[in-house]
Chains A and B, each alone.
Chain A
Amino acid sequence: MKKRSAQISGRLIFFSVIFFLLLGYPFIHMANKPLNVFGVPLLYFYIMSSWLALIFFLIISQYVGVVKEKRNE
């Protein structure tokens, strides 16, 4: 149980760190170009899609957690 809890904590910290890096320098610098994607600036598109991706991973992570818990039960 403790091991599982540590695994979950590790996964959550991993998500936070990864997205902190993705949305900071130097990744943001790579998206900071005067280009457009679907009519919107690349920088705005990159920030919004990374944000959405983080939310998506959060939902998936929870869903996987719930499925595993049910399977363990």
Chain B
Amino acid sequence: MSKWFVILASLGYLLLLFAVAYFAEHRQKAGKSIVANPYVYALSLAVYCTAWTFYGSVGRTISNGLDFLYIYIGPTIMAPLFMVVLRKIIRISKTYRITSIADFISTRFGKNISLGIIVTVLCVVGIIPYISIQLKAINISLELLSAGNQAGVLQPENWWADSTLYIAIGLSIFVILFGTRSVDATEKHEGLVAAVAFESIVKLAAFLAVGIFVTYGLFDGYASIFQQAKDVPALKKIFTLEGEGSYMQITSVLLLSMSAILFLPRQYQVAVVENTHEKHIKKASWLFPIYLFLINFFVVAIALGGYLLLNDSSSPDTYVISLPLYANQPWLALLVYIGGFSAASSMIIVEIIALSTMISNHIVLPAFLSIEKVQENLDKSIRVFIQNSRRISIVLIMLLALLFDKLVAEKYSLVSIGLVSFTAVAQFAPAMLAGLYWKMVSKNAAVTSIVIGFVIWFYTLVIPSMVGVGMIDQQIMTDGLFGLSILRPQALFGLEGWDIIAHGFFWSIFSNTFFLFLVSFLFPPQSRELYQAELFVDIDRMEIRGEEVSVIWKETAQVEALQQLVATFIGAERTSSMFESYATRRNLSLSGKADPALVGLTERLLAGAIGSAAARIMVRSVAKEKEPSIEEVLRVLQESQQIKEMNKELRKKSLELTKATEQLTKANQQLKQLDELKDEFLYTVTHELRTPLTSIRALSEIVFDNPDLPEEDRLRYLEAVIRETERLSHLITQVLSLEKYENGMQHLEVRPVDIAQLLHDNLASIQALISKEQLEVKVNIASLLPTIHADPYLLSQVFYNLISNAIKHARSSIQISAQFSDGQFYIEVTDDGKGIPLDIQDLIFDKFFQAKNQTLQKPQGSGLGLAICKKIIELHHGQIHVQSAPNEGATFRVILPMRLNEVV
């Protein structure tokens, strides 16, 4: 394929990106954003997958086996934590208008200028090689596609003939046009995000296309590739991990990628600065891992396929594009090239924006704005200066990346350089994470830990690369620094045999974390740092609505001066709107002396444009500031803590009150229920009493009114009167008895009782009735039953009641049984009567159940017998149940414990 055709295709694709970006910005201005949704957000996070993923993963598979997968598994493992960690970072960044990772760290530790500079320098040094490998990838794939195979690739003789240069120029123009239009870095670059999301789709589609082609076009599926590769010695490492060192290697890659997904400048840019709504994190936390899984699915197949078909004729880093060329599929190769171009360009675009903002806000502007003359003659031309400083930074970064590409990157694989960059940004992880959750981490600790981590990173990972390209003498690798063998860069303190990345990562992060805690304990945070710590760590608890963050600084300034200062940077119209909104909310006039909160608002508005450190310089230039003492800060923090505690106490009281109200409502309901029960009970008792009384009265009147009544009838009536009187008396006795049980007035007279004897006595006393009803009695009482400790009189009452009930309902027989098992007595009284319907089995132990259910066939009795039985058994700590089925009789089972120790 002609080189010029490929370059033209690249420029054409760049034009397409311009169109996508322009369209997105046009929609944003029209208020119809195409970016503000979780899908585009997830796709923009996929900027994580660079040319390193697209080409380098295959190369890494051949050289190191499966550990490349951990570069993508790390972010997937972090994905569940997005809702915890990333959301907090976003919330803080939006509240304090933080624009980059350097800004974040600098703001957290007291808006410290030097910390911002250190983080920026580390980012630039760590990321430039990473950008350079993107350019390298574009260059290699372009040359390969033009030449048709590896052997045909020729390096250009003149620098101006190098196609990478023109690609770099094109990308720089794109970034300058769509990334530096606004001075306010917190403003969303919707055009850019749309382009990045579009590129994510293109690179995924291209990779899947080549993966499917290799797996199913050149081979017969995954299993077939593995089958053919299993006997190739060089590919053994893809089948199993070799040696104990492999585990350390994958663990370090896993940890590195877990930190990279949050702390790489480009990830911070898309995940935090460009985030339009916090809720998008939720869906992105599973959409993004799916993307990572898909883009890696065919990597092993391409690696094995490439090795089997191309062997040594091609570098493993280029298998992705070499395989379609080998199979004579130039259009597929072109698609792959565009996919790789997308992967590389999206990374370059976002990374350069992030870095240029950092350079401008943390190096150029603090230095420039510190000059007194600049402060005195500040006008709106400063905005042009800011934009130009960012544009120059973009060009500078691109030039440095090109230079690195020509001097160093050509000699290294894509993935090796990528992991070195990952280790560089991992140095922010301890300070960032500790800063998010621990208030006592100090600025000095953050500076020390990052610097030490950076130095060790440089010594263990960058020095060996410099030795590799001949920039430093080889001797340092073999003899160590100053001839000390314990200082050998790849075997520091004698730690030998580790993978270079695992080694560098271990020592840099270990030292970094160690010094972070050590220095924090030795040099605790100062007043400003403590204040910032409070604002960051407790972001969720802070009462923050825009500018209404509590301000403790003693600053005095004129409102007009502040307004003018902000207008210089972000424009008069926007400033006026923000200040007026503030004044309306606080019912203040926009003249005279500004209150501390307005000074705070000014600083935050400026921070969005020029970074927190430079904003602080500018505010100081118009506001007379007196640094508060540590006691004052502590007092304010203490007050804040007291308010929090008071709120907590109030919440606790409120909860207690709610609980008490619930209990009162419940008690009230119970009282109502009891009242209803009492009414019901009175009604039933009076009804039951009236029935025999009516009979007595009627019969007595007959006898009274008829003195000449025959003797036989008179006696019969008087007998009935006596019987009804007895019934009445029995009923009253039972009611009184029940009342005693319910009031807890009934006492037990506990003594050893022979259950078997008690049952036999009851049977004997009721024998006349049994004979009258002509019933068969089956007795099954276990021999040698132990003695129970109970009230014999009351138990006898229960058994008598149950047996007499059984007699009343039985058709032909009753059965009485008693057993002892597991320390309990089981006594059963069974009849073969009509049985008790299931739905009323639980109700028959209620008072007057029979009386209340007149529709049931009513046998003789008051309806209190079973209720009393239940009370007596419960007094004995026992249970009583009924088992019955229609027409199959009923069994009443009494369960009693053997010993009642503390019976009332």
With a cutoff of 8 Å between Cβ atoms, the chain A residues found around residue B222 in the complex are: 39-40
Is the pair A23, B283 in contact by a Cβ cutoff of 8 Å? no
Is the pair A54, B289 in contact by a Cβ cutoff of 8 Å? yes
With a cutoff of 8 Å between Cβ atoms, the chain A residues found around residue B76 in the complex are: 19, 51, 54-55
Does A52 make an interface contact (CB < 8 A)? yes
Is the pair B240, A33 in contact by a Cβ cutoff of 8 Å? yes
A59–B288 Cα distance when bound, in Å, is 11
- Chain A residues 23-71 with CB under 8 Å of chain B are 23-25, 28-29, 32-34, 36, 38-41, 43-44, 47-48, 51-52, 54-55, 58-59, 61-62, 65
A34–B83 Cα distance when bound, in Å, is 39
Tell me whether A23 and B254 are in contact in the complex, defined as CB-CB below 8 angstroms, given that A43-B240, A47-B69, A51-B69 are known contacts.
Answer: yes
Other-chain contact of B286, A25, A44, A59 (Cβ < 8 Å): A59
With a cutoff of 8 Å between Cβ atoms, the chain A residues found around residue B890 in the complex are: none
Which B-chain residue is minimally distant from A59 (CB atoms)?
Answer: B286
Interface string of B239-255 (1 = CB under 8 A from A): 11100000100110010
Determine the interface band of chain B, counting residues with CB < 8 A from chain A.
35 or more
Other-chain contact of A12, B70, B81, B226, B283 (Cβ < 8 Å): B81
Tell me whether A58 and B285 are in contact in the complex, defined as CB-CB below 8 angstroms, given that A16-B81, A44-B66, A47-B66 are known contacts.
Answer: yes
Is the pair B241, A43 in contact by a Cβ cutoff of 8 Å? yes
Does B300 make an interface contact (CB < 8 A)? yes
| Shortest distance from the beta carbon of A14 to any chain B beta carbon, whole Å | 8
A39–B84 Cα distance when bound, in Å, is 40
A40–B76 Cα distance when bound, in Å, is 23
With a cutoff of 8 Å between Cβ atoms, the chain A residues found around residue B66 in the complex are: 43-44, 47
| Shortest distance from the beta carbon of A52 to any chain B beta carbon, whole Å | 7
A51–B254 Cα distance when bound, in Å, is 13
Is the pair B226, A39 in contact by a Cβ cutoff of 8 Å? yes
| Shortest distance from the beta carbon of B86 to any chain A beta carbon, whole Å | 11
Is the pair B83, A12 in contact by a Cβ cutoff of 8 Å? yes
Which A-chain residue is minimally distant from B283 (CB atoms)?
Answer: A62
With a cutoff of 8 Å between Cβ atoms, the chain B residues found around residue A33 in the complex are: 240
Does B223 make an interface contact (CB < 8 A)? yes
Which B-chain residue is minimally distant from A60 (CB atoms)?
Answer: B286
A12–B78 Cα distance when bound, in Å, is 9
With a cutoff of 8 Å between Cβ atoms, the chain A residues found around residue B73 in the complex are: 23, 47, 51
With a cutoff of 8 Å between Cβ atoms, the chain B residues found around residue A52 in the complex are: 293
Is the pair A62, B282 in contact by a Cβ cutoff of 8 Å? yes
| Shortest distance from the beta carbon of B228 to any chain A beta carbon, whole Å | 11
With a cutoff of 8 Å between Cβ atoms, the chain A residues found around residue B290 in the complex are: 55
Does B77 make an interface contact (CB < 8 A)? yes
A24–B258 Cα distance when bound, in Å, is 14
Is the pair A24, B250 in contact by a Cβ cutoff of 8 Å? yes
Interface string of B299-317 (1 = CB under 8 A from A): 0100000000000000000
With a cutoff of 8 Å between Cβ atoms, the chain B residues found around residue A28 in the complex are: 241, 247, 250
| Shortest distance from the beta carbon of B630 to any chain A beta carbon, whole Å | 32
A40–B293 Cα distance when bound, in Å, is 17
Tell me whether A32 and B254 are in contact in the complex, defined as CB-CB below 8 angstroms, given that A39-B223, A51-B69 are known contacts.
Answer: no
Number of interface residues of A (CB under 8 A): 34
- Chain B residues 67-121 with CB under 8 Å of chain A are 69-70, 73, 76-81, 83-84
With a cutoff of 8 Å between Cβ atoms, the chain B residues found around residue A48 in the complex are: 69, 297
Does A9 make an interface contact (CB < 8 A)? yes
Tell me whether A25 and B247 are in contact in the complex, defined as CB-CB below 8 angstroms, given that A41-B239, A44-B300, A51-B76 are known contacts.
Answer: yes
A33–B554 Cα distance when bound, in Å, is 67
Tell me whether A62 and B240 are in contact in the complex, defined as CB-CB below 8 angstroms, given that A47-B69, A54-B77 are known contacts.
Answer: no
Other-chain contact of A39, B81, B227, B293 (Cβ < 8 Å): B227
| Shortest distance from the beta carbon of B845 to any chain A beta carbon, whole Å | 39
| Shortest distance from the beta carbon of B338 to any chain A beta carbon, whole Å | 27
A43–B290 Cα distance when bound, in Å, is 20
A64–B808 Cα distance when bound, in Å, is 59
With a cutoff of 8 Å between Cβ atoms, the chain A residues found around residue B285 in the complex are: 58, 62
Other-chain contact of A16, B80, B240, B251, B293 (Cβ < 8 Å): B80
| Shortest distance from the beta carbon of A36 to any chain B beta carbon, whole Å | 7
Which B-chain residue is minimally distant from A38 (CB atoms)?
Answer: B223
With a cutoff of 8 Å between Cβ atoms, the chain B residues found around residue A36 in the complex are: 226
Other-chain contact of B77, A9, A16, A25 (Cβ < 8 Å): A16
With a cutoff of 8 Å between Cβ atoms, the chain B residues found around residue A32 in the complex are: 240-241
Is the pair B78, A16 in contact by a Cβ cutoff of 8 Å? yes
Other-chain contact of B84, A13, A23, A58, A62 (Cβ < 8 Å): A13
Other-chain contact of A58, B227, B240, B247, B289 (Cβ < 8 Å): B289
| Shortest distance from the beta carbon of B83 to any chain A beta carbon, whole Å | 6
With a cutoff of 8 Å between Cβ atoms, the chain A residues found around residue B241 in the complex are: 28-29, 32, 43
A65–B289 Cα distance when bound, in Å, is 19
Is the pair A25, B251 in contact by a Cβ cutoff of 8 Å? yes
A54–B66 Cα distance when bound, in Å, is 18
| Shortest distance from the beta carbon of B625 to any chain A beta carbon, whole Å | 37
- Chain B residues 244-274 with CB under 8 Å of chain A are 247, 250-251, 254
Tell me whether A34 and B240 are in contact in the complex, defined as CB-CB below 8 angstroms, given that A8-B83, A39-B222, A47-B73 are known contacts.
Answer: yes
Is the pair B81, A13 in contact by a Cβ cutoff of 8 Å? yes
A32–B300 Cα distance when bound, in Å, is 17
A59–B286 Cα distance when bound, in Å, is 6
Which B-chain residue is minimally distant from A41 (CB atoms)?
Answer: B239
Is the pair B223, A58 in contact by a Cβ cutoff of 8 Å? no
Is the pair A29, B282 in contact by a Cβ cutoff of 8 Å? no
Is the pair A19, B283 in contact by a Cβ cutoff of 8 Å? no
A36–B222 Cα distance when bound, in Å, is 12
A40–B829 Cα distance when bound, in Å, is 70
A43–B241 Cα distance when bound, in Å, is 8
Which A-chain residue is minimally distant from B290 (CB atoms)?
Answer: A55
Is the pair B250, A58 in contact by a Cβ cutoff of 8 Å? no
Is the pair B286, A20 in contact by a Cβ cutoff of 8 Å? no
| Shortest distance from the beta carbon of A34 to any chain B beta carbon, whole Å | 6
Is the pair A29, B293 in contact by a Cβ cutoff of 8 Å? no
Is the pair B84, A41 in contact by a Cβ cutoff of 8 Å? no
| Shortest distance from the beta carbon of A48 to any chain B beta carbon, whole Å | 8
Is the pair A55, B223 in contact by a Cβ cutoff of 8 Å? no
| Shortest distance from the beta carbon of B291 to any chain A beta carbon, whole Å | 10
Select the residue from A15, A41, A52 with max chain B CB neighbours within 10 A: A41
With a cutoff of 8 Å between Cβ atoms, the chain A residues found around residue B79 in the complex are: 58
Is the pair A9, B84 in contact by a Cβ cutoff of 8 Å? yes
With a cutoff of 8 Å between Cβ atoms, the chain B residues found around residue A61 in the complex are: 80
Tell me whether A9 and B83 are in contact in the complex, defined as CB-CB below 8 angstroms, given that A39-B222, A47-B69, A51-B73 are known contacts.
Answer: yes
Is the pair B223, A40 in contact by a Cβ cutoff of 8 Å? yes
Q: Offer 5 A-B interface pairs, CB within 8 angstroms, sorted by A.
A: A29-B241, A41-B238, A51-B293, A54-B76, A55-B290
In the A-B complex, the 5 residue pairs with the smallest Cβ-Cβ separation, listed nearest first, are: A39-B223, A12-B80, A58-B286, A25-B247, A15-B80
A24-B250, A44-B239 are known contacts; what are 11 more A-B pairs with Cβ within 8 Å?
A: A9-B83, A12-B81, A13-B80, A25-B247, A39-B223, A40-B223, A43-B241, A51-B293, A55-B76, A58-B286, A59-B286
